[in-house]
Amino acid sequence: MAAAIDALTSPTLKHLREAWWDDVFTEFLAETLKPRPGNRILDVGCGEGLAEVAIGRLHISQVRLVGVDLVLSKVLAASQETASHNLRVKFAAADACRLPFRDGVFDSLYSVAVLQHVNDVEAAVAEFARVTAPRGRVLAVEPDNSARYGFSSTPAGRRAFELSRSFFSALSGQSDGRRSAIGPNLPRLFSESGLEPLDVRLFPVSLTLLGPPDASVWKSRREAVERALRSGAPDAAQWIGREYLETLTAYEAEATPAGSSFVEIQHTILFATVGQKID
Ligand SMILES: C[S@@+](CC[C@H](N)C(=O)[O-])C[C@H]1O[C@@H](n2cnc3c(N)ncnc32)[C@H](O)[C@@H]1O
């Protein structure tokens, strides 16, 4: 669905989640973590527990899952989301940089699309290594937002992609975003924390719109920008946002009459890095 995967409405991959977290990704997660009966597995930055539900569908018996998230409302939503799924899972509020667990208590650990939001990434990865048992697996999945590609067949569309980049960076107060380029830096971060990098797997995520999008897509794009502007955007973001809104209107006006010659392409890459705690 076009509105669900849209780099023009969000600086992160959260709207793309449905597009890439499929059965192949869940199986990759399970193959990587190698869960065995009785294993304890930690999800750092579990959000609303969707990963736990997906893992539960694999019916790996007697695995004990623990999910933590910085935001209490997410933890509560995760408990609710998983309640009817017959899982051995517990959730708690905790910061990735100060995990409330003893050294080496988890057999494996995963963290998906979280480090891009964390200020002290080194501290978080060191915590991943600390709470994982020797020879245990750690999986971190992060994007590199500079690997994003956006193309439109109309001039206002190409300008909209440029403005979305500057608008979302101005909103976050980051000009270049060291954190948004975290994906390909994970092997280095792992090595520095005593995790031996074993594999890097790329998960491409793409969308092609051929023919102009529905009115609802344009509406949701404009609403996303208006929402961001209302929620206390800094001055730099305010003026870029106003130009961005005008450009989205011009983009719709160019796209609609273009008919089947209209094309818009969005593409990005997720970097999944697998590490093993050194003995
Ligand atoms: C994009 S969501 C990903 C959620 C989940 N991993 C998934 O893939 O569905 C990012 C999550 O990281 C959490 N988060 C951000 N900073 C965190 C921190 N320092 N410690 C723990 N969780 C954090 C957010 O609250 C949010 O739930």
Contacts of 214 by beta carbon, 8 Å cutoff, 6+ apart: 2
Looking at the CA of residue 14, tell me the nearest atom of ligand 1.
Answer: 1
Interval 114-145: pLDDT, tens: 998 899 999 999 999 999 999 999 999 998 77
Average pLDDT, rounded, for the chain: 89
Total of domains in the chain: 2
Residue 149: its pLDDT value, please? Answer: 87
Is residue 53 within 6 Å of ligand 1 at its C-beta?
no
Q: Are residues 104 and 240 in the same domain?
A: no
Residue 8: its pLDDT value, please? Answer: 85
Contacts of 86 by beta carbon, 8 Å cutoff, 6+ apart: 56
Residue 59: its pLDDT value, please? Answer: 77
CA of 197 to the centre of ligand 1 (A): 23
Mean pLDDT, rounded, for 247-263: 97
Q: Are residues 81 and 158 in the same domain?
A: no
Q: Are residues 80 and 187 in the same domain?
A: yes
Q: Are residues 91 and 156 in the same domain?
A: no
Whose structure tokens read 């990963």?
A: 51
Is residue 141 within 6 Å of ligand 1 at its C-beta?
no
Q: Are residues 191 and 65 in the same domain?
A: yes
Confidence of residue 1 (pLDDT cuts 50, 70, 90): very low
Is residue 14 within 6 Å of ligand 1 at its C-beta?
yes
- pTM of the entire predicted model: 0.85
Is residue 19 within 6 Å of ligand 1 at its C-beta?
no
Helix, strand, coil shares of the chain, percent, nearest 5, are 45, 25, 25
CATH of the domain at 39: 3.40.50.150
Q: Are residues 54 and 168 in the same domain?
A: no
Q: Are residues 10 and 51 in the same domain?
A: yes
Instruction: Round to whole Å and give the CA distance between 91 and 76.
Output: 8
Q: Are residues 153 and 189 in the same domain?
A: no
Is residue 74 within 6 Å of ligand 1 at its C-beta?
yes
* DSSP character string of 160-209: HHHHHHHHHHHHHT-SS-TGGG-GGGHHHHHHHTTEEEEEEEEEEEEEEE
Question: Which range in 54-58, 95-99, 172-176, 232-236 is most confidently predicted, on average pLDDT?
Answer: 95-99
Q: Are residues 211 and 253 in the same domain?
A: yes
- Closest C-alpha residue for ligand 1 atom 10: 114
% of the chain exceeding 90 in pLDDT: 63
Looking at the CA of residue 112, tell me the nearest atom of ligand 1.
Answer: 6
Alpha helices in 66-154 (DSSP H): 72-83, 121-131
Distances (CA, A) of 60 to 34, 45, 157, 192, 274: 10, 22, 46, 32, 20
Residue 176 pLDDT greater than 70, yes or no: no
- The pair of structure tokens assigned to 84 is 């009817």
Select from 270, 218, 193, 276 the least CA-distant residue to 24.
270
Strands (E) in the chain, as ranges, are 40-44, 64-69, 89-93, 106-112, 132-143, 149-152, 195-210, 263-277
Residue 175 pLDDT greater than 60, yes or no: no
Q: Are residues 59 and 21 in the same domain?
A: yes
Interval 42-99: pLDDT, tens: 999 999 998 998 888 887 778 999 999 999 999 999 999 999 888 899 999 999 999 9
**Looking at the DSSP assignment, which residues form a beta bridge with residue 110?**
43, 139
Q: Which of 16-30, 55-69, 79-93, 164-178 has the lowest mean pLDDT?
A: 164-178
β-strands 106-112, 40-44 pairing: parallel
Is residue 118 within 6 Å of ligand 1 at its C-beta?
yes
- Closest C-alpha residue for ligand 1 atom 8: 112
Q: Are residues 53 and 185 in the same domain?
A: yes
Question: Which range in 17-21, 82-86, 196-200, 267-271 is most confidently predicted, on average pLDDT?
Answer: 196-200
Residue 15: its pLDDT value, please? Answer: 57
Q: Are residues 192 and 239 in the same domain?
A: no
Residue 229: its pLDDT value, please? Answer: 92
State the residue range of the domain holding 99.
2-143+178-203+270-277
Residue 99: its pLDDT value, please? Answer: 98
Residue 12: its pLDDT value, please? Answer: 62
Confidence of residue 17 (pLDDT cuts 50, 70, 90): low
